[in-house]
Chains A and B, each alone.
Chain A
Amino acid sequence: GAVVSQHPSRVICKSGTSVKIECRSLDFQATTMFWYRQFPKQSLMLMATSNEGSKATYEQGVEKDKFLINHASLTLSTLTVTSAHPEDSSFYICSASRGYQETQYFGPGTRLLVL
Protein backbone atom coordinates (compact mmCIF):
# COMPACT_ATOMS: atom_id res chain seq x y z
CA GLY A 1 0.00 0.00 0.00
CA ALA A 2 0.85 3.67 0.02
CA VAL A 3 -0.52 5.31 3.12
CA VAL A 4 -0.14 8.98 3.93
CA SER A 5 -1.26 10.42 7.23
CA GLN A 6 -1.77 13.96 8.44
CA HIS A 7 -1.86 15.39 11.91
CA PRO A 8 -3.90 16.99 13.25
CA SER A 9 -7.08 16.20 11.36
CA ARG A 10 -8.60 19.47 12.46
CA VAL A 11 -7.37 22.47 14.38
CA ILE A 12 -8.91 25.66 15.67
CA CYS A 13 -6.63 28.53 16.56
CA LYS A 14 -6.75 32.22 17.36
CA SER A 15 -5.80 34.83 14.83
CA GLY A 16 -2.09 35.66 14.97
CA THR A 17 -0.92 32.27 16.18
CA SER A 18 1.08 29.73 14.17
CA VAL A 19 -0.10 26.24 13.34
CA LYS A 20 2.00 23.26 12.29
CA ILE A 21 0.58 20.44 10.18
CA GLU A 22 2.46 17.17 9.76
CA CYS A 23 2.37 14.89 6.74
CA ARG A 24 3.84 11.40 6.98
CA SER A 25 4.29 8.61 4.48
CA LEU A 26 3.73 5.52 6.62
CA ASP A 27 4.86 2.65 4.43
CA PHE A 28 7.14 4.18 1.82
CA GLN A 29 9.89 6.73 1.47
CA ALA A 30 8.68 9.92 -0.15
CA THR A 31 11.32 11.89 -1.99
CA THR A 32 8.73 14.44 -3.00
CA MET A 33 5.81 15.83 -1.05
CA PHE A 34 3.21 18.34 -2.09
CA TRP A 35 0.93 20.70 -0.19
CA TYR A 36 -2.50 21.72 -1.42
CA ARG A 37 -5.22 23.98 -0.11
CA GLN A 38 -8.92 23.59 -0.79
CA PHE A 39 -11.60 26.16 -0.01
CA PRO A 40 -15.25 25.09 0.30
CA LYS A 41 -16.82 23.97 -2.98
CA GLN A 42 -13.57 24.58 -4.85
CA SER A 43 -10.92 22.32 -6.30
CA LEU A 44 -7.50 21.65 -4.83
CA MET A 45 -4.91 24.32 -5.36
CA LEU A 46 -1.24 23.34 -5.29
CA MET A 47 0.71 25.49 -2.85
CA ALA A 48 4.21 24.06 -2.97
CA THR A 49 6.40 21.12 -3.85
CA SER A 50 9.08 19.91 -1.49
CA ASN A 51 11.92 17.49 -2.12
CA GLU A 52 13.63 15.86 0.82
CA GLY A 53 16.58 17.90 1.97
CA SER A 54 15.85 20.82 -0.36
CA LYS A 55 13.98 24.07 -0.12
CA ALA A 56 10.37 23.95 -1.18
CA THR A 57 9.24 25.36 -4.51
CA TYR A 58 6.20 27.57 -4.08
CA GLU A 59 3.50 28.20 -6.63
CA GLN A 60 2.90 31.71 -7.84
CA GLY A 61 0.96 33.78 -5.33
CA VAL A 62 1.79 31.59 -2.32
CA GLU A 63 3.78 33.45 0.33
CA LYS A 64 6.77 31.36 1.34
CA ASP A 65 7.30 33.33 4.56
CA LYS A 66 3.74 32.67 5.63
CA PHE A 67 3.57 28.99 4.70
CA LEU A 68 6.80 27.42 5.93
CA ILE A 69 7.51 23.97 4.59
CA ASN A 70 10.10 21.58 5.94
CA HIS A 71 10.87 18.19 4.42
CA ALA A 72 13.70 17.00 6.61
CA SER A 73 13.23 13.27 6.19
CA LEU A 74 11.93 10.83 3.60
CA THR A 75 8.77 10.22 5.62
CA LEU A 76 7.89 13.59 7.09
CA SER A 77 7.00 17.02 5.77
CA THR A 78 5.56 19.85 7.82
CA LEU A 79 3.59 22.93 6.85
CA THR A 80 3.55 25.80 9.32
CA VAL A 81 0.99 28.52 8.81
CA THR A 82 2.55 31.52 10.51
CA SER A 83 0.50 34.33 12.01
CA ALA A 84 -2.70 32.70 10.85
CA HIS A 85 -5.70 34.86 9.97
CA PRO A 86 -9.33 33.94 9.32
CA GLU A 87 -8.74 33.98 5.55
CA ASP A 88 -6.24 31.13 6.04
CA SER A 89 -9.08 28.89 7.20
CA SER A 90 -9.16 26.07 4.71
CA PHE A 91 -8.68 22.34 4.13
CA TYR A 92 -4.96 21.60 3.81
CA ILE A 93 -3.99 18.38 2.06
CA CYS A 94 -0.59 16.84 1.49
CA SER A 95 0.50 14.20 -0.95
CA ALA A 96 3.64 12.12 -1.27
CA SER A 97 5.37 10.23 -4.02
CA ARG A 98 8.27 7.82 -4.11
CA GLY A 99 10.00 9.60 -6.91
CA TYR A 100 9.94 12.03 -9.74
CA GLN A 101 7.65 10.05 -12.00
CA GLU A 102 5.77 8.15 -9.35
CA THR A 103 2.11 8.32 -8.39
CA GLN A 104 1.07 10.81 -5.73
CA TYR A 105 -0.78 9.48 -2.71
CA PHE A 106 -2.80 11.89 -0.64
CA GLY A 107 -3.30 12.36 3.06
CA PRO A 108 -6.74 12.69 4.62
CA GLY A 109 -6.45 16.45 5.00
CA THR A 110 -6.35 18.92 7.90
CA ARG A 111 -9.17 21.34 8.44
CA LEU A 112 -7.91 24.65 9.83
CA LEU A 113 -10.25 27.19 11.36
CA VAL A 114 -8.78 30.51 12.43
CA LEU A 115 -10.97 32.55 14.74
Chain B
Amino acid sequence: DAKTTQPNSMESNEEEPVHLPCNHSTISGTDYIHWYRQLPSQGPEYVIHGLTSNVNNRMASLAIAEDRKSSTLILHRATLRDAAVYYCILRDVGYGGATNKLIFGTGTLLAVQP
Protein backbone atom coordinates (compact mmCIF):
# COMPACT_ATOMS: atom_id res chain seq x y z
CA ASP B 1 0.00 0.00 0.00
CA ALA B 2 1.24 3.48 -0.84
CA LYS B 3 2.12 5.46 2.27
CA THR B 4 1.30 8.95 3.39
CA THR B 5 3.22 11.37 5.57
CA GLN B 6 1.47 13.83 7.86
CA PRO B 7 2.67 16.14 10.64
CA ASN B 8 2.10 14.59 14.06
CA SER B 9 0.20 17.60 15.36
CA MET B 10 -1.07 21.03 14.44
CA GLU B 11 -2.75 23.88 16.28
CA SER B 12 -5.38 26.28 15.10
CA ASN B 13 -7.50 29.05 16.51
CA GLU B 14 -11.25 28.85 16.52
CA GLU B 15 -12.97 30.35 13.47
CA GLU B 16 -9.76 30.45 11.47
CA PRO B 17 -9.01 28.28 8.43
CA VAL B 18 -6.90 25.16 8.88
CA HIS B 19 -4.73 23.57 6.22
CA LEU B 20 -3.74 20.00 6.97
CA PRO B 21 -0.99 18.73 4.64
CA CYS B 22 -0.38 15.20 3.43
CA ASN B 23 2.48 13.91 1.31
CA HIS B 24 2.05 10.80 -0.82
CA SER B 25 4.95 10.80 -3.24
CA THR B 26 4.50 7.13 -4.23
CA ILE B 27 0.83 7.47 -5.15
CA SER B 28 -0.29 5.36 -8.09
CA GLY B 29 -2.77 6.24 -10.79
CA THR B 30 -5.59 4.22 -9.21
CA ASP B 31 -5.13 5.55 -5.67
CA TYR B 32 -7.90 7.73 -4.31
CA ILE B 33 -6.96 10.17 -1.53
CA HIS B 34 -9.27 9.77 1.45
CA TRP B 35 -9.51 11.82 4.61
CA TYR B 36 -11.09 10.60 7.79
CA ARG B 37 -11.09 12.09 11.26
CA GLN B 38 -11.45 10.50 14.64
CA LEU B 39 -12.72 12.25 17.73
CA PRO B 40 -11.69 10.82 21.10
CA SER B 41 -13.30 7.47 21.89
CA GLN B 42 -15.25 7.41 18.64
CA GLY B 43 -14.99 5.60 15.34
CA PRO B 44 -13.47 7.45 12.39
CA GLU B 45 -15.71 9.79 10.43
CA TYR B 46 -15.48 10.14 6.66
CA VAL B 47 -14.51 13.67 5.65
CA ILE B 48 -13.78 13.79 1.93
CA HIS B 49 -12.03 12.01 -0.89
CA GLY B 50 -10.74 12.77 -4.37
CA LEU B 51 -8.71 11.45 -7.25
CA THR B 52 -7.29 14.33 -9.28
CA SER B 53 -9.51 17.40 -9.05
CA ASN B 54 -10.11 19.55 -6.00
CA VAL B 55 -13.24 18.57 -4.10
CA ASN B 56 -15.60 20.46 -1.82
CA ASN B 57 -18.30 19.25 0.52
CA ARG B 58 -20.12 20.59 3.54
CA MET B 59 -17.34 19.53 5.88
CA ALA B 60 -14.17 20.51 4.08
CA SER B 61 -12.28 21.06 0.86
CA LEU B 62 -9.57 18.87 -0.59
CA ALA B 63 -6.85 20.46 -2.68
CA ILE B 64 -4.81 17.98 -4.70
CA ALA B 65 -1.48 18.93 -6.22
CA GLU B 66 -1.19 18.69 -9.98
CA ASP B 67 1.33 15.83 -9.73
CA ARG B 68 -0.87 14.20 -7.04
CA LYS B 69 2.11 13.73 -4.75
CA SER B 70 0.58 15.85 -2.04
CA SER B 71 -2.80 17.09 -0.90
CA THR B 72 -4.24 19.48 1.65
CA LEU B 73 -7.40 19.18 3.67
CA ILE B 74 -8.91 22.58 4.29
CA LEU B 75 -11.30 23.32 7.13
CA HIS B 76 -12.61 26.76 6.31
CA ARG B 77 -13.53 27.84 9.83
CA ALA B 78 -12.28 25.63 12.62
CA THR B 79 -14.53 25.03 15.59
CA LEU B 80 -13.78 23.34 18.88
CA ARG B 81 -15.64 20.29 17.59
CA ASP B 82 -13.07 19.91 14.82
CA ALA B 83 -10.40 18.91 17.33
CA ALA B 84 -9.56 15.36 16.29
CA VAL B 85 -6.97 13.12 14.66
CA TYR B 86 -7.09 13.57 10.89
CA TYR B 87 -6.01 10.66 8.72
CA CYS B 88 -4.93 10.94 5.10
CA ILE B 89 -5.21 7.53 3.45
CA LEU B 90 -4.61 6.25 -0.05
CA ARG B 91 -7.05 3.67 -1.25
CA ASP B 92 -6.39 1.65 -4.37
CA VAL B 93 -9.61 1.09 -6.25
CA GLY B 94 -8.01 -0.43 -9.31
CA TYR B 95 -8.99 -3.87 -10.45
CA GLY B 96 -6.79 -6.90 -10.55
CA GLY B 97 -6.09 -7.73 -6.95
CA ALA B 98 -6.77 -4.37 -5.38
CA THR B 99 -8.90 -4.29 -2.28
CA ASN B 100 -11.09 -1.75 -0.61
CA LYS B 101 -8.86 -1.73 2.45
CA LEU B 102 -7.99 1.41 4.37
CA ILE B 103 -4.58 1.36 6.00
CA PHE B 104 -4.41 3.98 8.72
CA GLY B 105 -1.22 5.83 9.57
CA THR B 106 -0.68 7.90 12.68
CA GLY B 107 -2.51 10.96 11.39
CA THR B 108 -2.36 14.59 12.52
CA LEU B 109 -3.72 15.57 15.92
CA LEU B 110 -5.45 18.90 15.45
CA ALA B 111 -5.88 21.09 18.52
CA VAL B 112 -8.27 24.03 18.25
CA GLN B 113 -7.81 26.91 20.68
CA PRO B 114 -10.76 29.08 21.65
B68 interfacial by beta-carbon distance below 8 Å: no
Q: How far is the CA of A104 from the CA of B89 in the complex (A)?
A: 12
| Those 8 A-B pairs whose CB atoms lie nearest each other, nearest first | A106-B43, A44-B104, A101-B93, A43-B104, A109-B43, A93-B43, A106-B44, A108-B43
In contact, A109 and B45 (Cβ under 8 angstroms): no
In contact, A49 and B99 (Cβ under 8 angstroms): yes
A107-B43 contact given A43-B105, A43-B107, CB 8 Å threshold:
yes
> Per-residue 0/1 for B79-114: is the Cβ within 8 Å of any A Cβ (1 yes, 0 no)?
000000001000001000001111111110000000
Q: How far is the CA of A115 from the CA of B69 in the complex (A)?
A: 46
In contact, A108 and B42 (Cβ under 8 angstroms): yes
A32 interfacial by beta-carbon distance below 8 Å: yes
In contact, A49 and B100 (Cβ under 8 angstroms): yes
A46-B41 contact given A103-B46, A103-B49, A105-B46, CB 8 Å threshold:
no
Size of the A side of the interface (Cβ < 8 Å), in residues, is: 27
Q: How far is the CA of A46 from the CA of B102 in the complex (A)?
A: 8
Q: Give chain A residues whose Cβ lies under 8 Å from the Cβ of B101.
A: 34, 46, 49
In contact, A109 and B102 (Cβ under 8 angstroms): no
Instruction: Name the residue among B43, B45, B100 with the largest chain A CB count within 10 angstroms.
Output: B43
Q: How far is the CA of A92 from the CA of B103 in the complex (A)?
A: 15
List 17 extra interface pairs beyond A6-B43, A34-B102, A100-B100, CB under 8 A: A2-B46, A32-B100, A43-B104, A43-B107, A91-B41, A93-B43, A95-B43, A95-B44, A95-B102, A97-B100, A101-B93, A104-B100, A106-B46, A107-B43, A108-B42, A108-B43, A109-B41
Q: Give chain B residues whose Cβ lies under 8 Å from the Cβ of A91.
A: 41
Q: How far is the CA of A46 from the CA of B91 in the complex (A)?
A: 14
> Per-residue 0/1 for A43-84: is the Cβ within 8 Å of any B Cβ (1 yes, 0 no)?
111100100000000000000000000000000000000000
Q: Give chain A residues whose Cβ lies under 8 Å from the Cβ of B46.
A: 2, 103-106
Q: Give chain A residues whose Cβ lies under 8 Å from the Cβ of B106.
A: 43
B38 to chain A, nearest CB (A): 8
A48 to chain B, nearest CB (A): 10
Q: Give chain A residues whose Cβ lies under 8 Å from the Cβ of B36.
A: 106
